[in-house]
Chains A and B, each alone.
Chain A
Amino acid sequence: MIDNGKTEKQKNRKTKKVLMSFLGFWFFSFLVSAYAQPVTSTELINNAKEYDGSTVAYEGEVIGDIMRRGDFVWLNVKDGKIALGIWAHNSLAKEIEFTGEYKSKGDRIQVSGIFNRACLEHGGELDIHAKSIKKLNSGKMIKEKLIIGKRNLVIMLSGVIFLVWILMLLKRR
């Protein structure tokens, strides 16, 4: 009975060890995969202290101007609601063709770099210093199509103004 009990305990311990190793491995894999996933701007801003100084992956659309500053450039990359400033070497930004504005959709890029909660080099900015930039999707020019409904409304309202004007003229007489 005692022997059997020991064997059972040993079996349980072994099962526990296997289970723990499996869980540990799973948790480790989860962590690795989580760090490989891009972080959102909201997450970075809300948890700036935790991410400060660490290498992060961040992706989004390049918007506005690419601002050259010597051998470096400032890019503004928007992942949804918020855009973050990316400080990158000229050579990293060479591939970027389109930036987002009214008449164009910007290139979608993934930036890997060091996140700064209050950058010492840039007067306290919350920014990312890019180590590498990968272009995920190319942007494009957006061809503006005339919205017929709006055009018709303009014509109709012009008619109404003309009518009101005629009525006012008639009343004056």
Chain B
Amino acid sequence: MLGLAFTMLIPVLVGVAFCEVNPVLDFLIAIEIAVIVGLILNKICYTEKNPSWMQGMIIVSLSWLVAMILGAIPLYLSGHWASYLDACFDSMSGFATTGLILVQDLDHLSRTHNFWRHLIMFIGGQGIAIVALSFFIRGFSGAFKMYIGEARDEKILPNVIHTARFIWLVSIVYFVLGTLTLGLAGIFSGLKPANAFFHGACLFMAAFDTGGFTPQSQNIMYYHSLLFEVLTIIIMVLGALNFKLHYHLWTGNRREIRRNIETVTLFISIMILFTLTAVGLTQAGIYPNALMLFRKGFYQLVSAHTGTGYQSIYAPQFITEWNHLAFIGVLCAMALGGAVCSTTGAIKNLRVGIIFKTLIEEVKRIMLPEKSVVVQKLHHIQDIFLTDKLARSALLITVIYLALYGLGAIVGMILGHPFLNALFESTSAGANVGLSCGITNVDMASALKITYILQMWAGRLEFMSIFALIGFFVATIKGK
């Protein structure tokens, strides 16, 4: 909480730079509330004991809920959100790098608040616990538990705190380069210089962290620029790659990108799903040439697959203009997602790759003589033998994700939305994508808003921390 209060000083600086008085006050109020609650909880809950696995997981899951509530304070005070629930929705959408929005009149929102919307994506993308581990905690023995609790399966460096700092180093280096590139592209596209770099910084944070917020209500369509679309595709793909892969690329091991099961799966999956989407769009006859197919079909597909959610078409166009085949292509891309230990959500390429390899192994087992030994290997940074444990874990998480998408769709249907639309929106929330076919809006039922908040939360943390929290509450109620 104290860390979150500290990060809120950044939008305060933005507000001071742009002479926005009331927005600065909104953030000062939020900072003070965070500091007061933080100090009180620090006093009540302070312990020198090492947290257990369960406690580590509970800390992580609760810290995300607290971050949502505190992060929503300045948003709500701006008057651009109809209710505190709406502000919490956008706050969770930001932290979980989803990108679904309920903000009203975004085009007149202050730069201070707008910067905060994108900054929470940057924080949430790396992980709230990672922020704490990187900057505010020294030698905390529960660090590894919190790191795992935030759906980071892999350590890049032997020490978790060094790993967290490396993740930030990668992000900040790319942030500087990305902001400069997008800023220059903005000037080239006709934006005023100050606006160009402001938009550049915001767009980078949301694209690299596969979030999908933009400073304007038209999303990426505001810029009317092929250059912006190409640059954001590159940044989205960089954000969807494993930080461990970034480490190997940075240290000169460029072969890894061609050999790694995650990048191979991502490439094959994009190609198959784009073919599906392109066939659908060709049948619909809306985009008759290759450039149009690239800017609308391919862009939407990459945006969905990387879990970003930038839209180069208006939300209702998915329903009114696209046919079911193209729509399902994007839906499948959303459900699959990017790499583990990246900023994306969803099932993820490594698990898809493992499931595919398991399938091949099973087919081989059936086809070869009974006495033959079938060994399946996969390459992920190093060669790994495909074990039953690995396959079971990948399948289990995949099944839970599918159940999450399905449950959200059922709630959507109960509230009167058609099946495919409800499934699309639910997958978008659960996989932390942010594409919308029009269901997400201010008038949406509160029950659906809460459902999507829970989906975004569970999807981002990959369930284990949430299950630990649920288990804790059940045990407390039973008096154990």
Taking a contact as CB atoms closer than 8 A, the residue among A63, A103, A151 that contacts B25 in the complex is A151
Contact (A164, B32) CB under 8 Å given A78-B107, A144-B22: no
The reply to whether the CB of B29 lies closer than 8 angstroms to some CB of chain A is yes
A63-B108 Cα distance, complex, nearest whole Å: 8
**In contact, A123 and B291 (Cβ under 8 angstroms):** yes
**In contact, B25 and A123 (Cβ under 8 angstroms):** no
Contact (A76, B21) CB under 8 Å given A63-B107, A69-B190, A150-B26: no
- Binary B-proximity of A139-162 (CB < 8 A = 1, otherwise 0): 000001011001101100110110
Interface residues of A in 64-118 (CB under 8 A from B): 64-69, 73-74, 76, 78, 81-83, 85, 87, 100-103, 117-118
**In contact, B39 and A164 (Cβ under 8 angstroms):** yes
Which B residues lie within 8 Å of A150 (CB)? 22, 25-26, 29, 77
The reply to whether the CB of B10 lies closer than 8 angstroms to some CB of chain A is no
The reply to whether the CB of B222 lies closer than 8 angstroms to some CB of chain A is yes
The reply to whether the CB of B317 lies closer than 8 angstroms to some CB of chain A is yes
Which A residues lie within 8 Å of B29 (CB)? 150, 153-154, 157
The reply to whether the CB of A125 lies closer than 8 angstroms to some CB of chain B is yes
Closest to B286 in A: A118
Of B201-209, B213-221, B259-267, which binds chain A?
B213-221
**In contact, A146 and B286 (Cβ under 8 angstroms):** no
Which A residues lie within 8 Å of B110 (CB)? 102
Which B residues lie within 8 Å of A5 (CB)? none
**In contact, B317 and A126 (Cβ under 8 angstroms):** yes
- Binary A-proximity of B12-27 (CB < 8 A = 1, otherwise 0): 0000000011100110
Which A residues lie within 8 Å of B255 (CB)? none
B20 to chain A, nearest CB (A): 7
**In contact, B25 and A66 (Cβ under 8 angstroms):** no
**In contact, A67 and B28 (Cβ under 8 angstroms):** no
A60 to chain B, nearest CB (A): 11
**In contact, A64 and B111 (Cβ under 8 angstroms):** no
Taking a contact as CB atoms closer than 8 A, the residue among B218, B289, B316 that contacts A120 in the complex is B289
Which A residues lie within 8 Å of B162 (CB)? none
Contact (A124, B296) CB under 8 Å given A46-B320, A65-B190, A144-B22: yes
**In contact, B217 and A83 (Cβ under 8 angstroms):** yes
Taking a contact as CB atoms closer than 8 A, the residue among B25, B190, B320 that contacts A154 in the complex is B25
25 contacts between A and B (CB under 8 A): A42-B316, A67-B189, A67-B191, A68-B190, A69-B190, A74-B190, A76-B222, A82-B217, A82-B218, A82-B314, A83-B216, A85-B221, A102-B109, A103-B20, A117-B321, A118-B287, A120-B288, A120-B292, A123-B226, A144-B22, A147-B25, A151-B25, A154-B29, A154-B32, A157-B29
6 nearest interchain CB pairs?
A67-B190, A124-B292, A157-B32, A123-B295, A150-B25, A63-B107
Inter-chain pairs besides A81-B217, A154-B29, 17 sampled, C-beta below 8 Å: A46-B320, A48-B317, A64-B222, A65-B190, A67-B191, A78-B107, A83-B216, A83-B218, A120-B288, A120-B289, A124-B292, A124-B293, A146-B21, A147-B25, A150-B77, A160-B36, A161-B39
Question: Which residues does B use to contact A, with CB under 8 Å?
Answer: 20-22, 25-26, 28-29, 32-33, 35-36, 39-40, 43, 77, 107-111, 189-192, 195, 216-218, 221-224, 226, 286-289, 291-296, 313-314, 316-317, 320-321
